[in-house]
Each structure stands twice: as C-alpha cells, then as structure tokens.
C-alpha cells in the first residue's frame, strides 16, 4: 500500500515541476487533491475498512496529501515570482518625461493675518481666547453698554434667531465672558467670525474681527497708545508710517478713538477703533472700577489684510479662487 502512495507522490512532483503557469498548476491540484482524485476516493472508503487498515490508510493519505500541498504552494510562489520579474523587465520607464510636481498648499491670507497679530500680542503676554458665535443679547449688547435704541440691534442690521439669541455682531462679546469669569489682571485677545447684514465690495455678511483688551491697576490712555502704535508699525513693517488718533464714540469705551494711517496718496484711512473700557462694563462684570481700569481695541481682519496686500474687493477672500489664493 505504501508503494502506491509513493508512486502517486512521485507522479505529482513530476507534474507540478513541469507546470508552466498558475492555470496548469491549478489543474494538477484538482487532479491530485480534488473531489474525484485518487486520494479523495481512498478517503471515501475509509469507513468500509477494518480498524487496522483504516489507521494505516488514513496515515498514508494524510502524509501524501500534505506533501503534495506543500510542493504546490512552494512551486506557486516560484511561478508568481517569475511572473512579477517578467512584468518588471517588460515595463519601461521613459526618463525623458517630466516629473509630477506636488503643489504645496498656502496659508489663507486671513489666517496669515490672524497669526501675525496673535504673534505680536502673545509676545506682550496676552492670552488667546475664543467665544461663541451664537450669542445671548446680554453678552452681545447689554453688558457692552449698548443702548436698546442703538441701530445695530435692528432686524435690518443683525441676524436674530429670536428676541434673546443672535449671531454675534462683534468679538467684543468675548470680553464680557472673560471679565465675568476671571479676576484682574487680564490681558486677552480674541479673533473669530462675526455677522452683519451687509454685502458689497468692502463688506460681507460674515467677516472676521480681532478684539483685544487689558484690565489692571493704573492702566491709562498712554498704555493704549504705546501698545497700538507699536502694533501698527510692526504689522505694516514701517517705522515711518504716519499714525493719528481721532476722537470717536463707542458705547463700550470712554474716551474712545479711531486710529488712521496715512496712505501713499496722502489720504487718511481708519483701520481700528479703541478706547478705555467704560466703567459701566467693569461694574456689570463685578470688577471694582475705582481700583481697576483697562483699554480695549477692535479691528476688522479683512480690512487690514486688504490694506497690507493691496486687495480692492473683500469678496475675493471667500471665492476659493486658487489663482487668487496662490499669490500669498
């Protein structure tokens, strides 16, 4: 019986080694290991044999079957390796073709401006804070000393959800959140999206603002002027830039001012608003205005970015035009 299985194994080895491809190898596998193979037929008659014959026959079947499987797997790898090698040899590379260049991404000019402003004020010890874009009327208007008759509260100017909730119209709401939850001294800046019903080449319904403020003992207008003078000269990289403070009015600061810079055409252009934090705001936030004082400022990110890069249409920032964005 043993000689029969040895002969079968020898035949299988010969057939396997003479197979030229995976298709012929698969036919050999079916011939020797398939349902109608010699080994399968022997397995089917195991139940009809005696105990002693069953043990000997089963042993020989398993030994032969495992050897044939191992030989097939080994030779299959050899054929696959040969196919891969032939494919590699047959494929040619045209070294005269230009390479595929990967385009590097660019930082959006709005994000670039925010990063530059944050870098300056972080070096002065300012913390960066964020606040909600969907805001309560208390934080957006009431705690900022904005009266009920103020035009910014109108439906024509502001996006309202209901009588108490709106899309914030300025990042000054962050100032209230910070003052209510922290004790002086406080130095903070915050940037983010704000929303107003306005749309033309210099205004969009959504735009970005940067708010900054300090609350501490003995803070005065001189501190405000020194900080913002240095910031503006840093941002525009021009120590000879002409800057002027012009009296103005904001409900949340007193006294208030707007800062203008002189352009090349000798015209003055307003770039930000600022002032000393109104004592009413400090009181509403439970900060003693007899001990502490502070200054605040706010600027439009799009506006100052347009000035820096000499862009004349604010809508270009939001059109996702790669020809425009890749310039920066």
The pair of structure tokens assigned to 181 is 């939850």
Instruction: Supply the pLDDT for residue 231.
Output: 95
Instruction: Note the pLDDT of residue 273.
Output: 93
**Collapsing DSSP states into helix, strand and coil, what is residue 300?**
strand
d(C-alpha 8, C-alpha 37), whole Å = 11
- Considering only CA atoms, which of 14, 20, 61 is closest in space to residue 37? 61
Asked if residue 195 lies in contact with residue 169, where contact means CB atoms within 8 angstroms, the answer is yes
The reported pLDDT for the residue numbered 320 is 83
Q: How far apart are CA 94 and CA 113, in angstroms?
A: 45
Residues 161, 134: Cα–Cα separation, whole Å:
9
What is the rounded distance in angstroms from the CA atom of residue 4 to the CA atom of residue 221? 108
Structural contact between residues 200 and 227, judged by C-beta atoms closer than 8 angstroms: no
**Cα torsion for 248, 251, 256, 262, to the nearest 10°?**
-50
Give Dmax over CA atoms of the chain in angstroms.
114
CA atoms of 252 and 216, how far apart (whole Å): 17
Which helix (H) or strand (E) covers residue 188, if one does? Answer: strand 186-195
- Cα–Cα distances (Å) from 191 to 39, 113, 133, in that order, read 79, 11, 11
Helix axes 2-17 and 51-90, enclosed angle (nearest 10)? 10
- Its pTM stands at 0.65
Alpha-carbon distance 297 to 318, whole Å? 25
Paired with 243 in beta bridges are: 261
The per-residue pLDDT for 111 is 92
Dist. CA 308–CA 297, nearest whole Å: 19
User: Among positive and negative, which fits the CA dihedral 278, 280, 286, 287?
Assistant: positive
Burial category of 93 from C-beta neighbours within 10 Å (exposed 0-12, middle 13-18, buried 19 and up): exposed
**Predicted pLDDT at 45:** 62
| CA-to-CA separations, 283 to 3, 136, 236, 278, in angstroms, rounded | 106, 19, 36, 9
Would you write out the chain's pLDDT as a tens digit for each of its 328 residues?
556 777 777 787 878 888 878 888 888 888 877 777 766 766 666 556 666 666 776 677 778 778 888 888 888 888 888 888 888 777 777 667 787 787 777 889 999 999 999 999 999 999 999 999 999 999 999 899 888 888 888 888 889 999 899 999 999 999 999 999 999 999 999 999 999 887 776 678 888 999 999 999 999 999 999 999 999 999 998 888 899 999 999 999 999 999 999 888 888 989 999 999 999 999 999 999 999 999 999 999 998 999 899 888 888 888 888 888 888 8
């Amino acid at each position: 019986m043993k000689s029969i299985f040895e002969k079968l194994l020898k035949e299988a080895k010969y057939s396997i080694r003479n197979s030229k491809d995976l298709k012929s190898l698969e036919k050999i596998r079916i011939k020797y290991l398939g349902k109608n193979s010699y080994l399968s037929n022997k397995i089917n008659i195991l139940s009809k044999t005696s105990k002693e014959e069953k043990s000997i026959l089963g042993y020989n079947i398993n030994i032969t079957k495992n050897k044939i499987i191992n030989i097939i797997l080994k030779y299959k790898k050899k054929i696959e390796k040969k196919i891969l090698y032939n494919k590699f040899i047959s494929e040619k590379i045209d070294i005269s073709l230009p390479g595929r260049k990967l385009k590097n991404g660019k930082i959006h000019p709005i994000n670039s401006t925010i990063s530059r402003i944050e870098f300056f004020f972080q070096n002065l010890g300012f913390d960066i804070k964020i606040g909600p874009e969907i805001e309560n009327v208390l934080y957006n208007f009431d705690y900022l000393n904005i009266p009920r008759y103020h035009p910014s509260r109108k439906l024509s100017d502001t996006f309202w959800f209901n009588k108490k909730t709106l899309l914030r119209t300025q990042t000054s709401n962050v100032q209230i959140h910070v003052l209510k939850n922290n004790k002086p001294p406080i130095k903070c800046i915050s940037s983010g999206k704000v929303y107003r019903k306005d749309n033309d080449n210099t205004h969009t319904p959504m735009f970005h603002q940067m708010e900054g403020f300090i609350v501490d003992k003995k803070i005065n207008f001189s501190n405000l002027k020194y900080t913002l003078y240095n910031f503006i000269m840093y941002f525009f990289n021009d120590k000879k830039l002409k800057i002027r403070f012009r009296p103005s009015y904001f409900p949340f600061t007193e006294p208030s001012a707007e800062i203008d810079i002189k352009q090349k055409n000798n015209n003055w252009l307003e770039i930000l608003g600022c002032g000393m934090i109104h004592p009413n705001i400090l009181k509403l936030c439970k900060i003693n205005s007899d001990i502490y004082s502070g200054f605040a400022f706010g600027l439009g990110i799009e506006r100052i970015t347009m000035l820096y890069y000499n862009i004349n249409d604010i809508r270009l920032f939001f059109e996702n035009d790669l020809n425009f964005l890749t310039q920066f």
